[in-house]
């Protein structure tokens, strides 16, 4: 414990990567821990740098620790700590205009989804292959996954 305390006391900067997975509760707990350095300042006066994309994986809720999985930016502390923000808007990893535009439209960066994006999605869509194995299912929310699993269990119990 003394080693951790010494590291906190000597740190000037804290960098958090993959911030989309960082929950409100984790963010507030981290602030409490960093405040060991200087209780009169948020995060003990450390410079906090968050890196990541909030359109990626969300925080995972954890019932055992009473963490509802809220995003860290939903904390009241967030606006107090991050007065200066930098938003990177240029896509540098992808060069295909059609895909860049489709991602922007689907993510909500644009007001509506255009015909070109719908056409691209239709081209990429294909029926699943029936190889006799159960296919992987992806869901946007835990609730949707839970509902699917419950329905599947009920079906198996009642009809198989």
pLDDT-derived band at 160 (thresholds 50, 70, 90) equals: low
Q: What is the pLDDT of residue 139?
A: 87
Q: Is residue 65 part of a domain?
A: yes
**Domain enclosing residue 46, as ranges:** 2-81
Q: Is residue 116 part of a domain?
A: no
> What would the pLDDT profile of 62-103 be if each residue is shown by its tens digit?
888 889 999 999 999 999 999 888 887 777 888 888 888 888
Instruction: State whether the Cα torsion 141-51-41-76 is positive or negative.
Output: negative
Q: Is residue 92 part of a domain?
A: no
Mean pLDDT of all residues in 117-142: 81
Contact 77, 28 (CB under 8 A): yes
Q: How many domains does the chain have?
A: 1
Q: Is residue 114 part of a domain?
A: no
Q: Is residue 149 part of a domain?
A: no
Q: Is residue 120 part of a domain?
A: no
Contact 19, 52 (CB under 8 A): yes
CA dihedral 96→99→104→108, nearest 10 degrees, is 180
> What would the pLDDT profile of 8-63 be if each residue is shown by its tens digit?
889 999 999 999 999 999 999 999 999 999 999 999 999 999 998 887 888 988 88
**CA 57 from chain center: how many Å?**
3
Q: What is the pLDDT of residue 141?
A: 84
Residue 50, helix vs strand vs coil: strand
pLDDT-derived band at 142 (thresholds 50, 70, 90) equals: confident
Q: How far apart are CA 86 and CA 49, in angstroms?
A: 11
Q: Is residue 69 part of a domain?
A: yes
pLDDT-derived band at 1 (thresholds 50, 70, 90) equals: low
Mean pLDDT of all residues in 134-153: 86
pLDDT-derived band at 131 (thresholds 50, 70, 90) equals: low
- Above 80 in pLDDT, residue 110? no
Q: Is residue 12 part of a domain?
A: yes
Please name every residue paired with 71 in a beta bridge, in sequence order, or none if there are none: 23
């Amino acid at each position: 414990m003394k080693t951790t305390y010494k590291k906190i006391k000597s740190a000037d900067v804290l960098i958090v990567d993959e911030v989309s997975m960082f929950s409100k509760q984790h963010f507030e707990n981290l602030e409490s821990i960093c405040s060991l350095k200087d209780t009169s300042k948020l995060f003990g006066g450390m410079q906090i740098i968050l890196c990541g994309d909030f359109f990626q994986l969300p925080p995972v809720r954890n019932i055992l620790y009473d963490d509802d999985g809220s995003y860290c930016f939903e904390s009241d502390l967030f606006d107090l700590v991050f007065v200066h923000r930098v938003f990177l808007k240029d896509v540098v990893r992808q060069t295909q205009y059609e895909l860049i535009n489709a991602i922007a439209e689907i993510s909500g960066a644009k007001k509506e989804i255009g015909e070109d994006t719908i056409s691209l999605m239709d081209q990429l869509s294909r029926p699943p292959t029936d190889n006799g194995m159960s296919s992987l299912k992806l869901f946007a929310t835990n609730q949707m996954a839970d509902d699917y699993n419950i329905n599947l269990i009920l079906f198996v119990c009642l009809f198989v």
